[in-house]
A and B are shown apart, each in its own frame.
Chain A
Amino acid sequence: MNALATLAFALILASGAIQAPALFRKDGRLDRASHWLLLGAALCLATLIVRRSLAIGFPALTSIFECLVFMAAAICALCWAYRVQARLAFLPAVQFGSTVAALAALALASSPIAPKEALAPIPALRSGWLLLHVTFSFVGEALFMAATAAALAFLASRDERRKRDYDRVCYASVAAGYPIFTVGALIFGAVWAEQAWGSWWSWDPKEIWALVTWLVYTLYLHLRLTRKRVDALPAIVAVAGFLCALFTFLGVNYLLPGLHSYGR
């Protein structure tokens, strides 16, 4: 199974290497292979999850390792979809930033913080609501990752026309990720908590940080509503939102133990 993760890592690395020159090219010419390599990596990671699920007899989305693999797969698939779609301007920096994030997720998955042993989940985690909670949350966060790449590119760019494009991609990614994240992280999470613990909400550190992430993206959408011209504040808030999402996923598990501590 680790061979699939290694193959995916190599494909993402190769894709990043192919993409890098396009960041500095002035003619706007794009490579023809990088997004297909990312799709290949997404398929490898999806196969890994399916094989692991068959091995443990339950959808393999309950450990840190499995969640990081799913996150990397979601980002790769999203990058491919972004490249082949025709509605939004394609910006190489967004694809490259997301590719780096997918690499980072896989590197974390291979580190000691993510035990790799395939174990069937404890009774509390055997829930369909948990699966919806995890998948929707990570798909939402993959979109937030793309928004962050666009926001960082916005903050780094000096070209006004480019800035507008980055802002649009950032907004579109948050607009798509926000409903998915809200439903997954907060609503499906609350429904599962009610079933498992008898309480919709427990003010557990993980819940609080998921709420903070949601509040920050809510702030972003409202700021975007009120700004007459494109400026840096929404982009800064979008980056802050993703930092909150990262802390919710990883930081809380190790620094603020609570009901979600089994997620280590």
Chain B
Amino acid sequence: MRAPFKALRSTGLAIFLIAYLAAASVAASFLPQGREAGYYRGSMPAPIAELAIRTGFTDFYASPAFLGPALLFFSNLSSCAAYRLAKELRKERKKRRHGPDLIHLGLVLLIAAAVAGEAVQRLKPEETRGFVRLAPGEAVRLSGNRILALVSLREEDYPDGRPEDWVSVVRVTEGDRLLVADREIRVNRPLRLGGLSIRQASFQTAGVLGLRAPSGETRDLVEGESLALSSGSVELTSVDLGAGKAFFREAAKPGESAEARRFELGPGSALGDFTVVGLRAEELSGLVASYDPLYPAVLASFAVTILGLFVTFAQKLKGGKLE
């Protein structure tokens, strides 16, 4: 039992794995990642394409070629950290050097938090990340029955007219309870609500089509959005306010040409059961909500690693190892 543990925690294994991970990452960085097999077969010599596909280098960071050595590296790091810490604790207090222990511990915590975070995102993708475009006055439901409403939005510009920042003012309620009152979300200044973060992703002036259903209810369709009709799905590709027209594309059906799937409508026209009641331009705020329950763990791992790095350096400096 001692020999395998010794091999697992050895610096030699660490050196081999670090060299492999660095070299393999370099190779993978020159290969477009995550494309269909046909792309590689069509864009590079056959033997290289086959090698890349079979070894998993076409999606390297999700392949056994990366995950296997990365897992082994995690085991090496953890066992080395445990062994080293135990060894240091047996020394006199004044002779202990805990800097490398802290670095190893921080990295172990970071890898564990990253893997757990990735697992949560893969298991519940819809609960962990979402994008919404809101006009002022519109609202969206967040997890836990919370409602986020966009109160206002504005673009702040430099004197030369280029955008300096995009600012959304939002309000969050839960039932009758006001959780967040008129808080600004800026690019680089997200709103944090527990493990949920809401950040400013985009700002645009988009064409909006007003529609009325047979029941009399109205709804809006924004450029780029799709609408499900009984005959199939249609996408609003653009709105020309000057010409008073909205342009659509039908979802492809087998045997149909792209031309046959495009059409335009104006106010008063019918779109399936709906009637087009108007066209307008509206400023929209693009907000991204992401849920990361491991956020505090990642921050803690960073803090431990930073502490370890500087304690190590200070101990080397004090011990005369840099002279």
Interface residues of A (CB under 8 A from B): 57, 87-88, 119-120, 122-124, 126-127, 129, 168, 171-172, 175-176, 178-179, 182-183, 187, 190-192, 195-201, 203, 205, 208-209, 211-212, 215-216, 218-219, 222-223, 225-226, 244, 256
Q: Once the chains bind, are B18 and A123 in contact (CB under 8 Å)?
A: no
CA distance A264 to B22 in the complex (A): 25
A176 — which chain B residues lie within 8 A by C-beta?
313, 322
Query: What 18 additional pairs, Cβ within 8 angstroms, besides A57-B158, A119-B162, A200-B298?
Result: A120-B160, A123-B186, A124-B187, A124-B188, A171-B322, A175-B313, A175-B322, A179-B309, A179-B312, A183-B309, A195-B199, A196-B187, A219-B19, A219-B22, A223-B15, A225-B11, A226-B11, A256-B30
Q: Name the distance in Å between B63's Cβ and chain A's nearest Cβ.
A: 12
User: Roughly how many angstroms separate A223 CA and B22 CA in the complex, as a whole number?
Assistant: 15
Contact of A196 among B188, B312, B323 (CB under 8 A): B188
Q: Does B290 contact A (CB under 8 A)?
A: yes
| Chain B residues within an 8 Å CB radius of A205 | 29
Contact in complex: A226, B22 (CB < 8 Å): no
Contact present for A120 and B164 (CB under 8 Å) = yes
Is A172 a contact partner of B29 (Cβ separation < 8 A)? Answer: no
Partner of A123, one of B14, B28, B188: B188
Q: Which residues of A contact B38 (CB under 8 A)?
A: none
Q: Give complex CA distance A126, B30 in Å.
A: 30
Chain A to chain B contacts (Cβ below 8 Å), 19 pairs: A123-B166, A124-B188, A127-B188, A176-B322, A178-B309, A183-B309, A187-B306, A195-B189, A196-B199, A199-B290, A208-B28, A212-B26, A215-B18, A216-B22, A219-B15, A219-B18, A222-B15, A226-B11, A226-B12
Bound-state CA distance A196–B189 (Å) is 8
Q: B78 near A: Cβ within 8 Å?
A: no
With A122-B163, A123-B188 already in contact, the answer to whether A187 and B302 are too (CB < 8 A) is: yes
CB-CB under 8 A from A168, the residues of chain B are 323
Chain B residues with a Cβ under 8 A of chain A:
11-12, 14-15, 18-19, 21-22, 25-26, 28-30, 33, 61, 114, 129, 158, 160, 162-166, 186-190, 197, 199-200, 288, 290, 298, 302, 305-306, 309-310, 312-313, 316, 321-323
Chain B residues whose C-beta falls within 8 Å of the C-beta of A216 in the assembled complex:
22
Q: In whole angstroms, what is the CA distance A179 to B26 when docked? A: 22
Contact A179 B25, beta carbon cutoff 8 Å = no
- Minimum CB distance partner of B26 in chain A: A212
Chain B residues with CB under 8 A of A192:
188
**Among A126, A192, A198, A199, which residue has the most Cβ atoms of chain B within 10 A?**
A198
Q: CA–CA, A134 to B191, complex, Å? A: 25
Closest 4 CB pairs of A and B: A179-B309, A123-B187, A215-B22, A198-B290
